[in-house]
Amino acid sequence: MENKHTRDLAVSSMKLTDLSGNEVESVIKGQKYKLTYTFKNVGEEQTASPINSGLYTNNLQGQYYSDSRNLGNNVSGANIHLLKGQENTFTVEIDIPLNTNENMLSLYSFIPVKYDNTGDNVFIREDDIKKLEVPIKSPSGSNGENLAIVDIKLFNHKTNQEYNVENKDGTFNFDLNKSYRIEVKVQKTAGTAVLNNPELILNIRDSYGNVQEYILKSSKSFKNVGDTIIFKTGQFVENGNLLDVHAKIPSEYGEQGLNDISTDDQMVKTWQKSVNLSILSAEIIPNRFVFSENADNPPIDLPFKTTFGIDNTDNEYIEPALATIHNSNNKIVFSQRDISFTEGQTLITYYGTIPNQQLKDGNNPYKFTINYDRNIFEYDGTDNPYRDNSLTANVFVERKKTPQKEQLVCDSYNKENNWSVTFKLVRRNGYWTTKTIKTESGTETIEICRTTSIDRWEETRSYYERFGVEKIMFRSPSTIDKYNNVNDGWVDILGNNKGIVRAGQWYEFFVITRYNTNRVNIPAVPYGECGGSRTPNLSSVYSSNLIQLKMEGYGDSELHMLNSYDTKGSWSNLRRYFRPPLTSGKDAMGETTTRRYLPVTAENGRIDISIITQSMNGYYYDQNHSREKLQDCVSASIYIQNPLNLRSQTIGGD
Read off the pLDDT of each residue in 340-365 and give the average, rounded to a whole number. 84
Whether the CB-CB separation of 414 and 307 falls below 8 Å is answered with: no
Which residues, at least 6 apart from 423, have a Cβ–Cβ distance to it below 8 Å? 458, 459, 460, 461, 522, 523, 534, 535, 536
How far is residue 529 from each of residues 336, 452, 581, measured CA to CA in Å?
A: 19, 10, 58
For the chain, domains (ranges, CATH) are: 9-137 (2.70.50.60), 146-273 (2.70.50.30), 276-400 (2.60.40.10), 460-649 (2.70.50)
Q: What is the DSSP pairing of strand 129-137 with strand 27-28? A: parallel
CA 443 – CA 434 distance, rounded (Å)? 13
- Is the alpha carbon torsion for 564, 569, 574, 575 positive or negative? negative
Read off the pLDDT of each residue in 244-270 and give the average, rounded to a whole number. 85
Amino acid at 232: K
pLDDT score for 653: 39
Strand partners of residue 275: 312, 379
Strand partners of residue 423: 459
Instruction: Give all strands (DSSP E) within 518-604, no chain letters.
Output: 532-535, 546-552, 558-563, 566-568, 573-578, 596-597
Q: How many Cα neighbours within 13 Å face the side chain of 74?
A: 18
Residue 627 pLDDT > 90: no
Which region among 31-40, 322-331, 344-353, 394-403 has the lowest average model confidence (pLDDT)? 394-403
pLDDT-based confidence at residue 71 (cuts at 50, 70, 90): low
Burial of 260 (0-12, 13-18, 19+ CB in 10 A): buried
Quote the pTM value.
0.55
pLDDT score for 456: 87
Select from 438, 472, 626, 638 the least CA-distant residue to 553: 638
Residue 320 pLDDT > 80: no
pLDDT-based confidence at residue 416 (cuts at 50, 70, 90): very high
Residue 647 pLDDT > 50: no
| pLDDT, tens digit (0-9, with 9 covering 90-100), for 46-60 | 998 888 888 877 777
pLDDT-based confidence at residue 2 (cuts at 50, 70, 90): very low
CA 285 – CA 48 distance, rounded (Å)? 33
Most confident of 59-68, 159-168, 592-601: 159-168
pLDDT score for 316: 58
Q: How many Cα neighbours within 13 Å face the side chain of 463?
A: 27
| pLDDT, mean over the chain | 84
Higher pLDDT, 442 or 171: 171
Higher pLDDT, 221 or 557: 221
Residue 8 pLDDT > 50: yes
CA 39 – CA 451 distance, rounded (Å)? 43
pLDDT score for 435: 67
Residue 227 pLDDT > 90: yes
CA 156 – CA 235 distance, rounded (Å)? 9
pLDDT score for 369: 94
pLDDT-based confidence at residue 65 (cuts at 50, 70, 90): low
Peptide bond into 286 cis (omega under 30): yes
| pLDDT, tens digit (0-9, with 9 covering 90-100), for 591-606 | 567 888 898 888 899 9
pLDDT score for 650: 43
Whether the CB-CB separation of 284 and 327 falls below 8 Å is answered with: no
Share of residues in the chain with pLDDT > 70 (%)? 87
CA 111 – CA 445 distance, rounded (Å)? 27
pLDDT score for 1: 36
Peptide bond into 139 cis (omega under 30): no
Higher pLDDT, 504 or 437: 504
Residue 652 pLDDT > 50: no
Select from 138, 11, 36 the least CA-distant residue to 87: 11
Read off the pLDDT of each residue in 464-476 and give the average, rounded to a whole number. 96
Residue 126 pLDDT > 80: yes
pLDDT-based confidence at residue 581 (cuts at 50, 70, 90): confident
pLDDT score for 651: 41
pLDDT-based confidence at residue 635 (cuts at 50, 70, 90): very high
pLDDT-based confidence at residue 143 (cuts at 50, 70, 90): low
Higher pLDDT, 344 or 349: 349
The values of phi and psi at residue 548, to 5°, are -105, 135
Which residues, at least 6 apart from 494, have a Cβ–Cβ distance to it below 8 Å? 469, 470, 471, 472, 634, 636
Q: What is the DSSP pairing of strand 491-492 with strand 242-248? A: unpaired
| pLDDT, tens digit (0-9, with 9 covering 90-100), for 428-450 | 888 888 766 555 555 667 777 77
How far is residue 89 from each of residues 16, 118, 333, 355, measured CA to CA in Å?
A: 13, 21, 36, 44
Strands ordered across the beta sheet of 32-41: 9-17, 32-41, 87-95
Which residues, at least 6 apart from 288, have a Cβ–Cβ distance to it below 8 Å? 395, 396, 397, 398
Higher pLDDT, 276 or 2: 276
Residue 649 pLDDT > 50: no
439 alpha-carbon distance from chain centroid: 22
pLDDT score for 437: 57
- Residue-by-residue DSSP string for 301-353: EEEEEEEEEEEETT---EEEEEEEEE-TTS-EEEEEEEEEE-TT--EEEEEEE
Which residues, at least 6 apart from 571, have a Cβ–Cβ distance to it below 8 Å? 301, 353, 515, 540, 541, 542, 543
pLDDT score for 648: 42
Read off the pLDDT of each residue in 163-177 and give the average, rounded to a whole number. 83
